[in-house]
A and B are shown apart, each in its own frame.
Chain A
């Protein structure tokens, strides 16, 4: 599963989220390829992914993409990340 983590600048919060998504996916035995991006360029690359993860504030920036966008409220909550990944794992 290709996952795109989106934050404002593409270097901070999305990197933290990527690390945690990879760790949760490993626990679940899901094969993921996680990349990061800033909100501005995410629109262009979102379609190359199966799932986009971002925060509530930035989700509106991604309106119009055909890839599902899921909001993560607590980037440090493994259960929240786990629920989202399980939803799309099939």
Chain B
């Protein structure tokens, strides 16, 4: 299955080197990227925050990396991702993996559409060299190129 990285991560979904005051603000930025790309409505941003309030900071799945998301809902218009790189890392309350410097927002329209693109992302983030390159990549285009491997 070839992942449509260009379609799921368009330029408008990136917020590179932006500040965030706390974890909620960081998730709001991820929501902003999803809304800007036409993937979600503002309601989904609140749902992503609620997910963490309800279930804890489990979305911080690796050192420095949070995968902000909620369930498929009416607030998801299309499947897609956003990519928020923070100027200054923020604490999510996850002892093992704080602080977070990269927030990937995920909106799944159903339970399957996003799996190919998530595979591509996992393939890149599991590779320390690519993770370092993603932190330094200057543009959305450069980030997509790394994800495409």
Q: Chain B's interface: helix, strand, loop or mixed, by majority?
A: mixed
Give 1 or 0 for each of B51-86: 1 = CB within 8 Å of chain A CB: 100111111011101010111100000000000000
Determine whether B96 belongs to the interface, using a CB cutoff of 8 Å to chain A: yes
Instruction: Return the contact of B62 from the options A9, A11, A39, A75 (Cβ within 8 A).
Output: A75
Instruction: List CB contacts (< 8 Å) of A1-55 with chain B.
Output: 7-13, 15-17, 19-20, 23, 39, 55
User: In the complex, are the beta carbons of A8 and B58 less than 8 A apart?
Assistant: yes
Contact with A along B102-121 (1 / 0, CB 8 A): 00001010010011001101
Assembled-state Cα–Cα distance A39/B51 (Å): 12
- Whether A55 contacts B61 by the Cβ 8 Å rule is yes
Q: Are A57 and B61 in contact (CB under 8 A)?
A: no
Tally of contact residues, B, Cβ under 8 A: 32
Among B61, B119, B123, B131, residue most surrounded by chain A Cβ atoms (within 10 Å): B61
Cα A15 to Cα B57 in complex, Å, equals 17
B interface residues (Cβ-Cβ under 8 A, vs A) = 51, 54-59, 61-63, 65, 67, 69-72, 94, 96-97, 106, 108, 111, 114-115, 118-119, 121-123, 125-126, 131
Q: Please give the residue numbers on chain A whose beta carbons come within 8 Å of chain B beta carbons, in ascending order.
A: 7-13, 15-17, 19-20, 23, 39, 55-58, 73-78
